[in-house]
Amino acid sequence: MEKPLLPRESGQFIAERSRDVFVEDEGVEKMAEVLYSLRHSDDLTASGWKKANPLAPAPTSDQGSALNWVFVVDTMNFSFWPEKETQQCEVTYKGTTYTGYMTLCAAITRAMEEGVPITDPKYFSQMSVEELGHILRSDNETPMPMLRERHQVLTEGGRALLEHGGSFRTFISQAGNDARKMVELIVEKIPSYRDEATYEGKRISFYKRAQILVADFWGIMEARGQGDIINMDWLTMFADYRVPQALVYLGALRYSDTLMQVLKNGELLSSGDRREVEIRGCSILCVELIKDRLCKLVQERDGQPCSVNSVIIDFYLWPYAKQHHKEMAHIPIHHTRCIYY
């Protein structure tokens, strides 16, 4: 079978043929200006990642356990949107109630405090669905979606780690310190990370969770002063359902009226649907263009080399979308139930 195009090339290929999603140059320009004004702030650094996720392990905590925590969370990091906005799964931890992706982080951290060895691959590679259900239990009547799928991918991921040294650190070290090789290794060894589709007869890829796993690994290593990972700028944004919404809201991406209506009607798009692929692919290209424009501004105005990559822009856009979700409510997210995002 032919190898799929890589995420950046996939974004380009899709955007050139897209029928319902369009990158808007004016919006790209505006976004680059906004990010340029933030270029000296923490929002545009790897440490912005830790700020965006207060539940991530402290950089000073045990490295092996912190990296396994990231692996467990990223392996199950998909599909948190609720069937009805009023029925969100919630997890309260240390007095704060979390929804969405943060319910997963809170549930895993809560389990660790309860003495469950959830970051040990020996445990999570053979845990039962019931055990995981207890760990991910909601504090209201709405459970976290897709429990069986989360169980399947986590036990599969645990077995992969056990076959390669027994921890995420030993597993990922096979790729040296190269971000691209890390993504390729994860995708090759762990089936649930193979986020691929066919578009206009061509195999394409997004590798959203594989890229996030590498970026989170970098975030933790960077915070420990060990983030000398090469090829970080090979990674693209992480094509999910939250960042495209922010890009449309900020005018850098546009949906056709037909697609906007489909999304407003709450229609479910299956994984691999042409429109779903266009939303994800055009988001990737859009962030690439914002990054290129931003780097041009930095070079022209400051005479400086540009250190911002697509990951850092994603680290900015995702919390932005979370914080402004009320203002963005008139722009619907697309709904796809799958294990890829």
> In a structure prediction context, what are the per-residue pLDDT tens digits for the chain, which is 341 residues long?
789 999 999 999 999 999 999 999 999 999 999 999 999 888 887 666 666 688 988 877 788 899 999 999 999 999 999 988 889 999 999 999 999 999 999 999 999 999 999 999 999 999 999 999 999 999 999 999 999 999 999 999 999 999 999 999 999 999 999 999 999 999 999 999 999 999 999 999 999 999 999 999 988 888 788 878 999 999 999 999 999 999 999 999 999 999 999 999 999 999 999 999 999 999 999 999 999 999 999 999 999 999 899 999 998 998 899 899 899 999 999 999 999 99
Q: Give the C-alpha separation, 101 to 118, whole Å.
A: 17
- Give me Rg for the CA atoms of the chain: 19
Give which of 23, 81, 124, 62 is closest to 269, Cα–Cα: 81
Q: Which residues are identified as catalytic? A: 240
Residue carrying structure tokens 């000073």: 60
Token readout for 97 is 């109630």
Say whether pTM exceeds 0.75: yes
Q: Give the C-alpha separation, 61 to 44, whole Å.
A: 24
Give which of 161, 1, 192 is closest to 79, Cα–Cα: 192
CA atoms within 13 A of residue 294's CA, in its CB half-sphere = 27
* Spatial contact of 143 and 88, defined as CB atoms under 8 Å apart: no
Which ranges in the chain belong to alpha helices (H)? 7-17, 25-37, 47-52, 63-75, 101-113, 121-124, 129-135, 147-163, 168-172, 179-189, 208-223, 242-249, 257-264, 274-297, 310-323
Q: Give the C-alpha separation, 215 to 182, whole Å.
A: 10
Task: Please list the residues that pair with 97 across neighbouring strands.
Answer: 92
